[in-house]
Amino acid sequence: MNETKVKYTEEEILEIFKEQHRLCSPLDPEAEPWAEITADITIREWRWANDLLGWKELSEFLNQEFRVQINQDEWHNVLEPAKTRKLNEVCLLLSKYAKKDNYEAKILFGKPCLKAGVFLTIKKNLKDKGVDVSELRPSSSLTAYMDKYFSQVLEEITLTGTKPIDKIETRRKKKGFWNTINIFDPDRYETLTGDIKTFRDLIEKIIEEKNKNWAQHGI
């Protein structure tokens, strides 16, 4: 069940980008949900598909997301010129530095518990990204945290290399004319994640998918 601390492969990073596009692009009116994310698309096409910022802001975001410290020169070399650079170059660069989390069972009531290990790892990563996890428990609502820290939570879910969430949707919480037109209300919508309602649900699904992946690869 243990996962060694190794670097991501290019293919794994590409799959992370695909999953992020699949989940997020339908929520962004400036993104292109129908775009196909492949290793051969240009950086400009990738940015259009996901409504991403310019190369400098994007490089800073990727450093933060993958917990790496790649310098600006290296990033510029793979992100510009955007009309000719390819996504596979970004995947290759990240594969040289970014490491997967080491999911180890934690001792809980005298017995090893992988669920506790995965939960505590994700909790630590969220804290490192500025999320207030002081009240975070396995029973905590996943959607409540995504409403407040969407990007950080989604990053940590997709960085597991699994696909535990079938679809992300938003629903307007407040009815009535004023709430319909009041687009500046930050509490106007809530995030829906299907059957994955709590962090416990999320962790169980991640482990289920990882077990399938490990079994397929004979690990």
Q: What is the tens place of the pLDDT at every residue in 17-48? A: 999 999 999 999 999 999 999 999 999 999 99
Strands 111-113 and 106-108: antiparallel
pLDDT above 70 covers what percent of the chain? 87
pLDDT at 3 over 90: no
Confidence category of residue 8, pLDDT binned at 50, 70, 90: very high
Q: Which tens digit of pLDDT belongs to each residue from 196-216?
A: 999 999 999 999 998 887 666
pLDDT at 170: 85
Q: Which tens digit of pLDDT belongs to each residue from 93-144?
A: 999 999 999 888 888 888 899 999 999 999 999 999 999 999 999 999 999 9
pTM for this predicted structure: 0.88
**If you average pLDDT over every residue of the chain, what do you get?**
89
Q: Which tens digit of pLDDT belongs to each residue from 147-195?
A: 999 999 999 999 999 999 999 998 765 454 343 333 344 454 578 899 9
pLDDT at 214: 64
CA distances to 75, 161, 194, 197 from 191, in Å: 33, 22, 10, 10
pLDDT at 189: 59
